[in-house]
């Protein structure tokens, strides 16, 4: 997520869209939902973020490195 947004200027962070999103997430009902989010829901949210369109290079390189060069099990 940071990689996909790092190329944007300060104009994005001060935009009306993010201001509106901030207001929505600060409403008590929605804020409570995020506050009680468990690990399973967090993983589902991460999967949604990973499926967003982005330029694969260089952001996919660390993931590929982890899976190929450093698998979970040693030989």
Residue 30 lies in a domain: yes
Residue 75 lies in a domain: no
Contacts of 24 (CB under 8 A, 6+ apart): 30
| pTM for the whole structure | 0.33
Which pLDDT band, with edges at 50, 70 and 90, does 15 fall under? confident
Residue 53 lies in a domain: yes
pLDDT digits (tens, 9 = 90+) for 42-74: 778 778 877 888 777 787 788 777 777 776 766
Contact present, 23 and 71 (Cβ < 8 Å)? no
- Looking at the 3D structure of the chain, how many domains does it have? 1
| Domain assignment of residue 18, given as a range | 2-69
């Amino acid at each position: 997520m940071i990689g996909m947004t790092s190329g944007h200027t300060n104009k994005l962070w001060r935009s009306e869209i993010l201001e509106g999103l901030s207001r929505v997430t600060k409403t008590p009902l929605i804020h409570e939902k995020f506050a009680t989010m468990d690990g399973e829901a967090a993983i589902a949210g991460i999967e949604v973020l990973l499926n967003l369109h982005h330029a694969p290079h260089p952001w996919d390189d660390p993931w590929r490195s982890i899976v190929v060069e450093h698998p979970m099990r040693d030989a």
